[in-house]
Amino acid sequence: MEIILKKTIDTLGREGDIVNVKPGYARNYLIPKQMAVPVNKATLARLKREQQAIADRLAQEKKEAETMAAKLEGKVVDIARRVGEENRLFGSVTTSDIAGRLEEMGITVDRRAIVLTDPIKSIGESRVSVKVGYQMTAEITVQVVPENVGDQPVQNDEAVQEDQGDQQEEEQ
């Protein structure tokens, strides 16, 4: 079934494109959600009239995506997390954590635009892709560092027991 896209859809095409999809996908999803209209004489005539406005909108979106990509490219995002033995994280670093940290840096990014292939579960650097627009991505570096509790590194139980033993000997 041929349809005209009213919105840009990553897997199908840009706004104004005429694409061929399965009838069920068009009838049950795209058309009811106002993402597309079926192709007929009236919709083709409307598309022809709106072609310039669509081209202007797409050019504006592309320009905004390029400026966002320029802002993000090469950024280093530091995230502090509590760690256990062998520098393993308690939990993982999520897209929400990265989006929140970028927000603190003055860059607003939707968490769904951040692409993590695998959850970040260890200390160190990771390269992460951020979708900034139609078929455009930017690469950022996420650096996970250990968090200090109370301005002191977390001590393990043996060191705490030794300190308590030393204090008891001094009292006697």
Other beta carbons less than 10 A from residue 4's beta carbon: 19
Claim to verify: residue 88 and residue 141 sit in the same structural domain: yes
Q: What pTM did the predictor assign?
A: 0.66
Same domain, 53 and 81: no
For the chain, state the CA radius of gyration. Answer: 26
What CATH number has the domain bearing residue 78?
Answer: 3.10.430.100
Do 79 and 43 lie in one domain? The reply is no
Q: Do 28 and 77 have their domain in common?
A: no
Does 83 fall in a domain? yes
Look up the CATH number of the domain holding residue 24: 3.40.5.10
Buried b (16+ CB within 10 A) or exposed e, 6-44: bebbeebebbbeebebeeeebeeebbeeebbbebeeebe
pLDDT of residue 159: 41
Domain residues for the domain of 56 are 2-60
The answer on 80 and 29 residing in a single domain is no
Token pair for residue 167? 């204090």
Helix spans in the chain (H): 23-25, 41-72, 95-104, 157-171
Q: What is the pLDDT of residue 149?
A: 55
Mean pLDDT by 10 residues, the chain (172 residues): 89 89 94 94 90 87 88 87 81 89 88 87 88 84 79 43 48 51
Q: Same structural domain for residues 83 and 152? A: yes
Neighbours of 130 (CB within 10 A): 24
Q: Write down the pLDDT at residue 161.
A: 44
For residue 5, what pLDDT is reported?
A: 93
Q: Name every residue whose Cβ is closer than 8 Å to that of residue 141 and which is 6 or more positions away in sequence.
A: 74, 75, 76, 77, 125, 126, 127, 128
Structural domain tally of the chain? 2
In a domain? residue 98 = yes
Domain-located, residue 34 = yes
